[in-house]
């Protein structure tokens, strides 16, 4: 058992090293981060719009909010993953073919080709997983309400608070990246997010 555990840990460590090497070769980490933040913002807005709209039309069953939210999350995950993968794969294969023409050599089955293909998958995963990440934060109060541990009104309140705090953290992170005022970025993201979500409800 101990030897098997060591072998498993060694395998995981080797895979992590390979993935890190692929990301370094292709410089995909920054692109993945950009997709993750952008799609997290989009999915948070969509879920906030859903929650505000459900409250306005007086949906009193947490199962309805959860099923709608999870359906929206699944659709966003598929859209983010598939769309990003197809786009990244096309762009990276184009760059690879241009490099082959300039070098007058085939890069098929090379380390660079493997790295480009793996980078496309990793970036697509970052893009797709943004939706489930934001949905866990926003929909958790309705899970608690569904279990009978709180009322639906409390769930609406905390879902709105947590959704806005999530937007604040995304804005804070953007401010950190840009080396500007992080608090201001966070407040701006929170206010704009709430306004956009409410407009989405009004024009839905």
Number of domains making up the chain: 1
- Which pTM does this prediction carry? 0.80
Backbone angles phi, psi at 119, to 5 degrees: -65, -40
- Shortest CA distance to 135 belongs to which of 57, 66, 189, 52? 66
Burial class (CB in 10 A: 0-12, 13-18, 19+), 106: exposed
Quick one: which of 53, 67, 43 has its CA closest to 203? 53
Range of the structural domain that residue 117 is part of = 2-202
Q: Give residue-wise pLDDT tens across range 23-81.
A: 767 777 788 888 888 889 888 888 888 888 888 888 899 999 999 999 989 999 998 89
């Amino acid at each position: 058992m101990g030897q098997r555990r060591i072998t498993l840990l060694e395998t995981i460590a080797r895979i992590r090293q390979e993935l890190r090497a692929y990301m370094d070769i292709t410089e995909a980490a920054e692109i993945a981060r950009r997709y993750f933040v952008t799609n997290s913002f989009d999915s948070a807005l969509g879920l906030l719009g859903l929650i505000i709209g459900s409250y306005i039309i007086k949906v009193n069953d947490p199962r309805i909010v959860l099923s709608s939210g999870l359906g929206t999350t699944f659709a966003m995950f598929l859209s983010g993953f598939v769309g990003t993968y197809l786009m990244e794969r096309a762009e990276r294969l184009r760059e690879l073919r241009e490099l082959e023409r300039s070098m007058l050599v085939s890069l098929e089955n090379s380390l660079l080709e493997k790295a480009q293909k793996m980078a496309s998958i990793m970036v697509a995963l970052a893009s797709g997983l943004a939706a489930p990440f934001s949905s866990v934060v926003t929909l958790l109060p309705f899970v608690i309400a569904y279990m009978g541990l709180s009322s639906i009104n409390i769930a609406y309140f905390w879902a709105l608070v947590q959704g806005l705090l999530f937007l604040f953290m995304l804005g804070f992170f953007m401010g950190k990246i840009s080396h500007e005022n992080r608090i201001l970025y966070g407040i701006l993201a929170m206010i704009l997010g709430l306004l956009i979500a409410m407009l989405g409800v009004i024009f839905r």
